[in-house]
A and B are shown apart, each in its own frame.
Chain A
Amino acid sequence: MKTKEFIVTAIIIVVLLLCKFVLPKPIQFSPTISWIVTILLGLVFAFIFYLTIKGKPVERRIVFLLVGISLVVPFFMQFKLPLKISPEVQQVYDKLASLPPGSKVLASFDYDPPSAPELQPMAEAFVKYAFEHDIKIIMMGLWPQGPQQANQAVEAAFEENPALRDQVKYGVDYVNLGFQSGNEFVVLRMGESFKSMFPSDLNYTPYDSIPLLKNVSNFSNIDWSINFSAGKPGTVEWIQVAVDRYNLPMSAGNTAVQAPMVYPYLNAGQLLGLMGGMSGAAEFEKLTNLPGKATTFLLSQTFAHVVVILFIIIGNVAFLRSRKETK
């Protein structure tokens, strides 16, 4: 048993090192190979289906391995996927597009690196779009790591479009107020005065000496706000305090887990538009015409969903059959 584990470990290390140092990079499958790989995966599922129905369900590890493969393989494929825009995302975009140049937008980055795969693409597309359309962004975070994510989004925008680097000025076109602890109480106090909560920005520049903030004392001076949220504190807290008590117009980008909980607020008009998860991000990237990571990952995402659905179907068909037999 021990030797077997040792061999497995050794093989994994060798394969990884080979990938790192020997393999030509980057790897891309031609369409034919992509199709062949997809069909092979399908055959594996057919086999699992057969086994499960025969009453020999496969081990957990096989399931894990299959999920892993179907997430990784699409990285190297090049299928083009048509994407339909959902009304919630359209609403976010319409709101953003309707802002005249010079409008001030408050963007709260309430997430940390683990949730970045879903939210960072939205943030990047938003920042890029805002910079290109002369919309001013006031950034902040209710999560300690939020402001760093904001800076990364700005950096990504500059890398994508180097012309922006000269065009967009810190302090004039955007500002990063940083993080402040206190969850919804931060929002509550911002309702009275931003300055009381953020005496200085992330770089320790005093609030009053930042040109963009000259006329910003509280939410009443903000034209629109967007909130990228991965949990608590996040969109719900912003709605409860900033929207319900201070009438801040707000849209949100949420991790997919959070999104269903936010729909009632959307229907009630407390929230103006919602981007949910990676597919929401991909739709937003399409609308803003700034394809990024979410668009790239859409294929992997699709594969993953299909795999989970297949597992549910296989499990249930076997379950229904066995129930029929016992009857």
Chain B
Amino acid sequence: MLNRVLLLCLALVWTVSVSVTAQDVAEGGIDTLSLPLPAPAQNVVAANHVYDDGEVIDVNWDKSPDDPENILGYIVYRAETDGAFDSIRTLLPGETFFSDDNVEDEIPYKYQIGVIGENGVSLSGESELAVATWELFNFGMWNTFLWMFVFCGSVIGFIISAKSGRKLYIRKIGGLEALEEAVGRATEMGRPILFIPGILDMDDVQTLAAITILGKVARVVADYDSKIRMPVSRSLVLTAARETIKESYTSAGRPDGYNEDMVQYVTDEQFGYVAAVNGIMVREKPATCLYLGAFFAESLILAETGNSIGAIQIAGTARPGQLPFFVAACDYTLIGEELFAASAYLSEDPKQLGSLKGQDVGKVIAMFGLLVGTAAMTLSVAWQVPATQWILDLMNNLFTTN
């Protein structure tokens, strides 16, 4: 039943559009006698847009020779296999490309381009039929997938091998070695530890890294029975940080030592937050300040104020722009990747350390790519060694997105 109604509708549309098109052509035809039409567009090509959900057909054509002086624009016409052409879009002069995202998948369409002149429309030839097909997997990204697979595989592989008892060597990381000592000092002096997790929300991985480090720091704090102060600028961070500290106190066997007010929300606004943190620093004089997470302009204010109250400061961020100020004003700075390594390193859990080894595999891949790529490039450019060209092409294929 439905099919019949549809057919009927189609037939109706077809009749109407045929008559309309016929009129257009007829009018154009009459006008041609007196005034010339613009030259038509050429080489209309329609093709499936690859690696999508079967939603788009791309149409390309060559400009009309009269573009842009003597034309008013283009019209894109579309038809199904045996159907009539419908105008689906009007474009401005200068366009040579149209993405038709209003297609049903698995239905073939053909396209035609009309050039609008003062006196009517001149039509191009028809394109070949094109079908929008969907693909389940974006094979254009095979190399990304490959490297991701190798990298994640090696991270997981090292974690498993660490679990089975293999000893893994990780070099000392200065700032992290100092962390326990810094907490200890605060305990001795009877002053709190200030923990600033950056100013971004939980949807930034630096904040996630900061929160996982917080877990380890809070554990040491709970063991030493010292105090931690943590003003935050995001409500979600507030929630996560409270859970984290609570868990650390519980696992240290002192759930009664935990207090909700250790973490406090200030405001989402960057400098409102910094102003308040400055106040806390000056009033409560923490012995140790930890700035770990995503920092922006506030890094300088925080580090300077921390300096003026004589606190031990350890900073870590993956924002290169803020690193100079931390490097200049803090005792230790975790640069970029070291921030992400910190929580694994601090946990001394072999499984976690395994993931650091995995990171190193990633670096080896990158370094290998750099080394082979530059060597091949040098040979092929400087001495025109022909054999290196294919290595170069291979490297380019391996490290280029489409």
Instruction: Indicate yes or no for A touching B, C-beta below 8 A.
Output: yes
- Report which A residues bind B (CB closer than 8 A): 100-103, 193, 214-215, 217-218, 220-221, 231-232, 244, 257-258, 260-261
Contact B94 A102 (CB under 8 A): yes
- Chain A residues near B101 (CB, 8 Å)? 193, 217-218
Give me 18 other A-B pairs in contact (C-beta within 8 A), A220-B97, A221-B99, A257-B297 excluded: A101-B68, A102-B68, A102-B92, A102-B94, A193-B101, A214-B89, A214-B91, A215-B89, A215-B90, A215-B98, A217-B101, A218-B101, A221-B97, A231-B296, A232-B200, A258-B321, A260-B320, A261-B319
- Chain B residues near A193 (CB, 8 Å)? 101
Q: B3: CB under 8 A from chain A?
A: no
Closest CB in chain A relative to B97 CB, distance in Å = 7
Nearest to A115 among chain B residues (CB) is B297
In the bound assembly, the distance between CA atoms of A100 and B296 in angstroms comes to: 39
Nearest to B322 among chain A residues (CB) is A257
Q: B401: CB under 8 A from chain A?
A: yes
Q: B93: CB under 8 A from chain A?
A: yes
Contact B321 A257 (CB under 8 A): yes
**Chain B interface extent, by class:** 20 to 34
- Chain A residues near B98 (CB, 8 Å)? 215
**What does the 1/0 interface line of B267-301 toward A look like (CB < 8 Å)?**
00000000000000000000000000000110000
Q: B95: CB under 8 A from chain A?
A: yes
Contact partner of B94 (CB less than 8 A), chosen from A103, A214, A231, is A103
Contact A215 B92 (CB under 8 A): yes
Contact partner of B321 (CB less than 8 A), chosen from A215, A220, A244, A261, is A261
**What does the 1/0 interface line of B318-333 toward A look like (CB < 8 Å)?**
0111000000000000
| B contacts with A: majority SS | loop
Q: Give the contacts of B296-311 with A (CB-CB under 8 A).
A: 296-297
In the bound assembly, the distance between CA atoms of A257 and B89 in angstroms comes to: 44
In the bound assembly, the distance between CA atoms of A261 and B320 in angstroms comes to: 7
What are 16 inter-chain pairs, A to B, with CB distance below 8 A?
A102-B92, A102-B94, A103-B94, A193-B101, A215-B89, A215-B90, A217-B99, A218-B99, A220-B97, A220-B99, A221-B99, A231-B296, A257-B297, A258-B321, A260-B320, A261-B320
Contact partner of A244 (CB less than 8 A), chosen from B58, B99, B319, B401, is B401
In the bound assembly, the distance between CA atoms of A12 and B98 in angstroms comes to: 64
**What does the 1/0 interface line of B95-134 toward A look like (CB < 8 Å)?**
1011101000000000000000000000000000000000
- Chain A residues near B97 (CB, 8 Å)? 220-221
In the bound assembly, the distance between CA atoms of A96 and B89 in angstroms comes to: 27
In the bound assembly, the distance between CA atoms of A105 and B93 in angstroms comes to: 15
In the bound assembly, the distance between CA atoms of A121 and B200 in angstroms comes to: 28
In the bound assembly, the distance between CA atoms of A100 and B90 in angstroms comes to: 19
- Chain B residues near A261 (CB, 8 Å)? 319-321
Closest CB in chain A relative to B234 CB, distance in Å = 14
Contact B94 A100 (CB under 8 A): yes
Closest CB in chain B relative to A266 CB, distance in Å = 15
Contact A215 B95 (CB under 8 A): yes
Which 7 A-B pairs have CB atoms at the shortest separation, nearest pair first?
A215-B91, A220-B99, A257-B321, A102-B94, A261-B320, A261-B321, A102-B92
Contact partner of B90 (CB less than 8 A), chosen from A214, A221, A232, A244, is A214
Closest CB in chain A relative to B200 CB, distance in Å = 7
In the bound assembly, the distance between CA atoms of A242 and B92 in angstroms comes to: 24
Listed residue (B89, B93, B99, B321) with the most chain A CB atoms within 10 angstroms of its CB: B321
Closest CB in chain B relative to A196 CB, distance in Å = 11
Q: Give the contacts of B48-74 with A (CB-CB under 8 A).
A: 58, 68
Closest CB in chain A relative to B11 CB, distance in Å = 28
In the bound assembly, the distance between CA atoms of A232 and B91 in angstroms comes to: 35
- Chain B residues near A102 (CB, 8 Å)? 68, 92-94
Nearest to B100 among chain A residues (CB) is A217
- Chain B residues near A101 (CB, 8 Å)? 68
Nearest to B321 among chain A residues (CB) is A257
- Chain A residues near B200 (CB, 8 Å)? 232
Closest CB in chain A relative to B307 CB, distance in Å = 12
Nearest to B402 among chain A residues (CB) is A247
- Chain B residues near A215 (CB, 8 Å)? 89-92, 95, 98
In the bound assembly, the distance between CA atoms of A167 and B99 in angstroms comes to: 31
Closest CB in chain B relative to A262 CB, distance in Å = 10
- Chain B residues near A221 (CB, 8 Å)? 97, 99
In the bound assembly, the distance between CA atoms of A229 and B401 in angstroms comes to: 25
- Chain B residues near A217 (CB, 8 Å)? 99, 101
In the bound assembly, the distance between CA atoms of A232 and B297 in angstroms comes to: 12
In the bound assembly, the distance between CA atoms of A244 and B144 in angstroms comes to: 12
In the bound assembly, the distance between CA atoms of A261 and B93 in angstroms comes to: 39
- Chain B residues near A260 (CB, 8 Å)? 320-321
In the bound assembly, the distance between CA atoms of A232 and B203 in angstroms comes to: 12
In the bound assembly, the distance between CA atoms of A258 and B95 in angstroms comes to: 35
- Chain B residues near A103 (CB, 8 Å)? 94
- Chain B residues near A231 (CB, 8 Å)? 296
- Chain A residues near B92 (CB, 8 Å)? 102, 215
- Chain B residues near A218 (CB, 8 Å)? 99, 101
- Chain A residues near B94 (CB, 8 Å)? 100, 102-103
Closest CB in chain A relative to B212 CB, distance in Å = 21
Nearest to A185 among chain B residues (CB) is B203
Listed residue (A193, A215, A231, A261) with the most chain B CB atoms within 10 angstroms of its CB: A215
**What does the 1/0 interface line of B209-240 toward A look like (CB < 8 Å)?**
00000000000000000000000000000000
In the bound assembly, the distance between CA atoms of A30 and B182 in angstroms comes to: 58
Closest CB in chain B relative to A257 CB, distance in Å = 5
In the bound assembly, the distance between CA atoms of A221 and B99 in angstroms comes to: 8
